[in-house]
Structures are given as C-alpha cells and as structure tokens.
Structure 1
Amino acid sequence: MDLDLGQVRAFVVTAEELHFGRAAARLGISQQGLSKRVARLEAALGVRLLERDARGVGLTGAGERFLEPARRVLVLGERAVAAVRETERPLRIDVWGHLYAPMRTLAQAVDAAPGLEVEPVPGRDLPSVAAALLRGESDAGFGRVHALPDGADAGLTHRLVRLEPVDALLSVNHPLAGRDALSPAELRGSVLRYPAAVDRLDFLTRFATRFGITGRVGSTNLGLEHFVDQVAADPSCFSLVPADSPLPDRPGVRTVPLTDPTPLYAWSLLWRIDRNVEQDGQLDCLLRAFTAEAARSRWLEYDPARDWLPDADEAALQPRTDEATLQP
C-alpha cells in the first residue's frame, strides 16, 4: 500500500501529544481534520492505532509497533524533498548542559568546517534531546551523554569529542579557597551543590560517589549568574565548572584546579543509529571537524594515572571499528 505522509504525520504527532487538541494545534489544522487523517490511515492499514475513550487518547499495540517506523518514514520523506530541490537545510543540533558552556566547543568545531551550516537549539537536558532525536525533530545533539533509564536512548549512538578538565568553584570564604590546587578527596567535608535537581546531573553524582562526598544539595536552574551567587553565599559548599569556562563577573567566588586526579567532563555528539553518517554530508563534515580539532587542541588526552573519568566515559574512548572513516 502507499502511505500518505500527511496521515502518517497526523498519527505521529497525536501519538506524541496523546491529545487531539494539542496535536491539531501543533500541526496547524482543525481537530476534525486531524481526526479524519488518523481515521483514513487506520482504514488503509486495517487496524486501530489509537484508543479514544473518556480517559483520553492512548496507543494500541499496533500503534506502538507502528510509531517508530512511522517517524523514520517522515524523516526520509523530508530528506527526499530536500534532495530533489537540491537544497540542504542547516544541521539542527540540540545542545544541553548550558551552565558548562557547550557552545564554546561546538563553535570551535564549526569554525573549522567552512561551508557547514548548523542551527544550534537549546535543549533542556539529555532525556528531552534524546526524545527529539528519536522523533526526527533534530539531526544531532551535543552535550554529556550517559545511559538513560528504561532504554530511552535506544536507537541512538554517540561519539565522544572532547574531555575538559574541571575546577572546583568555591566561595572565597570556603576553608580551602586559598589553596593553589586541591585533590577531589580533600572536598569530602564540603557539600556538593548541583546547579539543578540532584537526579538530573549524572556527572556530579558519579564524582561525588567516586570521591566519597556525601553532602549533596540541588538547586533551581535559574542561570549561571544565580548559581554562582548561591555558591558565593555558602562557604560550606562547592561545585565543579570547566577549567576554561567563562564565569560571570561576580565577587565572592574563585576557582581552584583539581589534581590527583583531575576530573574530566566528556562532551559528545549524539545522533540516531539509522542515520548513515557516510551518506550524510553535513553530519560527516561535523564529525570530521571535531576529529581534526580534537587532534589540534589535544581534546581527547587522557591518562588514567593522572585523570579521572566515569567508567562509561572511559569506555567511550576505546577505538571504534569505524574510526578510520572519521580521520581528517
């Protein structure tokens, strides 16, 4: 049978929203028009894809099986249109981890790839970026990648592109603020302040567990300036920031390098497994730019006798079978 992409899109958006009104608004059509498209698709397939009752909208078993292939069909349809028009839209990259200034690294790689057009879009966090990638709404993601619960990252792959040393961020009134350098173990008596909810920041949690830091407190993410002010006001706490990340000009805080070992923050590029990198000129170009910049700026240097990485990040450094295809 021939699939009508308009009907497929109507189903996918409704499946994501689980609400006909919100789905219709997102598509810019009437709710009645949306219902007709979904009904025609169900009639053509000969199965019910959505359940509609007083409790709302839900997926049937057939709908759950159809959803992911349907998303892929829409992505391929967009690429087919772009190919026949001989135009290429900018590579959409969802970026997260904004308090750690990921745009610095992304910009450095993009600047090394003349002609590459990207559209950086702020992402809330890794789970939301992963969901957008799987829905085909983004081409790639950039930030720190870690395993998501319940297989929410199934269908995605990533490439580690930079390891960045982190410093301790301290109030000037912290007992250790006068030191020229600190080892992570010396921070055990301090409270690790998270710039967001504790359960959302995997790297800080792994750091605290590894170095025996039991005091942990979350914050509301109201931006870097607000967070720095919180650290300045509490001499019992500390946090971690990239060593060369620009901080707001705020009195009352200082950064101290961490050594023995030096913790490294891992930045990765994330994309869908079913996206053929070799045939995707933009994504391939960006990966090559990252590879070249990593070699020039020594972004991937790691010595386990000197540095510390969470286990999953260390494993991501291992050579890959397709490494040769990414050499500049």
Structure 2
Amino acid sequence: MDLDVAQVRAFVRTAEELHFGRAAGTLAISQQALSKRIARLESLLGTELLRRGGSGVSLTEAGRRFLLPARQTVAAADAAVAAVSGRERPLRVDVWGHLYAPMRTLAQVAGRAGELVLGHGRDLPSVATALLRGDIDAAFGRVHPPLPAGLAHRLVRLEPVDAVMSADHPLAARPALRPEQLRDSVLWAPGALDRLDFLHRFTHRFGIRDTASSVNLGLAHLLAEVAHEPRRFSLVPADVPLPEVPGLRSVPLVDPTPLYAWSLLWRAGDASPGLDALAAACAEEAGRSRWLEYDPTRDWLPHPPTSDPGPVPRTP
C-alpha cells in the first residue's frame, strides 16, 4: 500500500484544526480539494479517520491511532525534499518559561549547534502543539508530565533556585535558608499555581501555607511587588540576572536545594537537520559547566530523573 503524502498531510492538518475550512486555508487549497484528499485516503486505508457531524469534526479511533505515524510520515517527506534540494534550513527552536530567561542557556550553545531560528512560545502546551504540528523542530524549557504522545525530551540543565524577598523580610539577613523556613511567608507567583507546576509542587513539598498570584508582566514587575511587602517571596533560578529593583534580597536555599530542570524537547523519531548538533552542544556544555549534578540527599526536584530517556535520533 503506497500512501500519498498530500493526502496524509491533508488528514494531519484537519485532525489538528478539527475544521475543514481552516485546514484547507493553511494548505492553500479549496475545502473541496481537501475533502477529496481525505476521502481517497480513507478509501485506500479501508476505514473512516474523521467523523463529520453537526457538532463539528472529530477523530475516529482509527484516526487517533493513525495521527502520530501520519505526522512522522509528513515530517520524513519534508526532510527528504530538503535533503535532495541541498538546502539545509535552520533548526526552528522555540522556548517557554520566559520569566526565568531560558535564552541564557541556549545562548551558551547556539554557536556550536548550526543555524537556529528562535521563536517565543507561551507555555509548554502551546509549544508541544507546535512541535506535533511540525511548525518547529525542537523546544527548550521545563518539561513536566503529562506530555502528549509523540514527543521525546532530554534533561539539559539543573539550576539551583534562590528565594528572592524584600530586604525587610524577617529572614532576609540569613546567609542561606531551608525551604521549610518559608512556611510563614507568602509565595508570590506570576499566575495561578495550578498552571505553574514547579511553584505548585514546591508549596506542597515544603508546606508553604500562604500563596498569592499576580499578573505575569515580567520579572521586574513580579519582584517589584515582592519588594513592596515584607512577608512575600518568590523563587528565581540562581543565574537569572535580577532586575534593578530597590530593596530586594536573594537568599540561597539549602537542605535541600530546589533545582529547576531545563530540557530539550522534540518530536519522537524526528531527524530534522541540526537537531543532533543542538543536542550534542547541550551535552558538551552540560559536562563542561556541571549542569547536571544532582544529589538526592541534598537536592530537590519535583520530578527526579529515573533513567536516561535515550539518545536523540541521529540525522542521516
């Protein structure tokens, strides 16, 4: 059975949009042409992939099973065309977790990873969707479960986290703090805790009773609000340059030291040009700068690493 890539691409885009008109628009074809391609694919496979109804478009069980390998088929076809054309396009990399400046880490490896085109995703779900759609090749930020099927990731950096508080906070003069000593303080978060996995798990692990959230208008705005109230604190990776906010104090956390985990994320089975080079550059810098040191007797991770997730796929 030989699959027509144009038909498979039509199915993938419709499965992502769940709307024939929008999917046709993204492919620059008519809705009628899109419908014909999907109908021919379903006829070839001998099963219905999409269910059309008054309430919209949905995937059948067969369509759900077919979606991941269909995405991989389209990506492989695009890679094959790029290889024959002899024009290697730049690796498209997105980031998320902007409050903690993920570009600090990527900037240290970018020069060794070939040409990169950088984006600015909003959060992990939006970046994961862009990866699965093939809009980007890789992404960098904090990964936490559950991840959508079809994605793979590798830990790149573990970064100690400091408590940042007002200079008038009762604990601000301490040279270091245990996380549990912050139980009577107010964790000031840049959004609802149920959307901020690291801060949410920190409060549960160390018994932080009082939390409050602000609007995420950037690190300077968040820390200005922290500095304004002596009982507040927030958490910031130790290497993040702090904005020039008067009255701030950054105190290391110990026994245990919370670690913020940065990971590289990509489509499972992908062989995009440059992905291997980026992963290798990250691993090289991690070894040189000791980014992956972790001792469970002295450090804390919300999701401790249990095993190596396996090698990044090699580019042919």
**Unaligned runs of at least 5 residues, structure 2:** none
Deviation string for 1:164-193 (max 9, x for gaps)? 111111123322223332221110101212
In 2: Cα distance, 1:322 partner to 1:44 partner: 35
- Matching residue of 1:98: 98
Match of 2:293 among 281, 297, 301: 301
Deviation string for 1:115-134 (max 9, x for gaps)? x1112222222222223323
Shift of 1:198: 0.8
Which residue type is aligned with residue 228 of structure 1?
L
- Matching residue of 2:127: 129
Secondary structure, in 3 states, of the residue corresponding to 1:313?
coil
- Matching residue of 2:51: 51
Shift of 1:91: 1.3
Change (3 A) 1:258 1:191: same
Contact 1:72–1:136 (Cα < 8 Å) also in 2:
no
Shift of 1:4: 2.5
Change (3 A) 1:4 1:104: same
- Matching residue of 2:139: 141
**Which structure is higher in RCO with an 8 Å CA cutoff and minimum separation 6?**
2
In 1: Cα distance, 2:304 partner to 2:232 partner: 26
Match of 2:197 among 183, 196, 202: 202
The answer to which of 218-227 and 101-110 deviates more is 218-227
Identity of aligned residues (%): 63
In 1: Cα distance, 2:221 partner to 2:179 partner: 24
In 1: Cα distance, 2:245 partner to 2:171 partner: 19
Deviation string for 1:94-143 (max 9, x for gaps)? 211111111010110123x16x1112222222222223323333222211
1:30 is the counterpart of 2:50: no
Secondary structure, in 3 states, of the residue corresponding to 2:57?
strand
Contact 2:24–2:30 (Cα < 8 Å) also in 1:
yes
Which residue type is aligned with residue 32 of structure 1?
Q
Give the alignment of 1:153-164 within 5 angstroms. Answer: 153-164=148-159
Secondary structure, in 3 states, of the residue corresponding to 1:131?
helix
1:274 is the counterpart of 2:265: no
1:219 is the counterpart of 2:214: yes
Contact 2:19–2:57 (Cα < 8 Å) also in 1:
yes
Match of 1:253 among 234, 248, 255: 248
- Matching residue of 1:191: 186
Superposed CA RMSD = 2.4
Contact 2:184–2:208 (Cα < 8 Å) also in 1:
yes
**Unaligned runs of at least 5 residues, structure 1:** none
In 2: Cα distance, 1:162 partner to 1:182 partner: 23
- Matching residue of 1:169: 164
The answer to which of 118-127 and 39-48 deviates more is 39-48
Deviation string for 1:39-85 (max 9, x for gaps)? 33334434332222221111223322222221111001101101101
Secondary structure, in 3 states, of the residue corresponding to 1:52?
strand
Secondary structure, in 3 states, of the residue corresponding to 1:221?
coil
Structure 1 length normalisation: TM-score?
A: 0.86
Secondary structure, in 3 states, of the residue corresponding to 1:29?
coil
Secondary structure, in 3 states, of the residue corresponding to 2:274?
helix
Shift of 1:320: 6.8
Change (3 A) 1:8 1:171: same
Give the alignment of 1:226-265 within 5 angstroms. Answer: 226-265=221-260
Which residue type is aligned with residue 93 of structure 2?
I
Secondary structure, in 3 states, of the residue corresponding to 2:51?
strand
Change (3 A) 1:45 1:307: closer
- Matching residue of 1:74: 74
Contact 1:162–1:268 (Cα < 8 Å) also in 2:
yes
1:313 is the counterpart of 2:304: yes
- Give the total of aligned pairs: 314
The answer to which of 57-66 and 287-296 deviates more is 57-66
Shift of 1:322: 5.4
Contact 2:91–2:115 (Cα < 8 Å) also in 1:
yes
Secondary structure, in 3 states, of the residue corresponding to 1:229?
helix
The answer to which of 289-298 and 95-104 deviates more is 289-298
Secondary structure, in 3 states, of the residue corresponding to 2:236?
strand
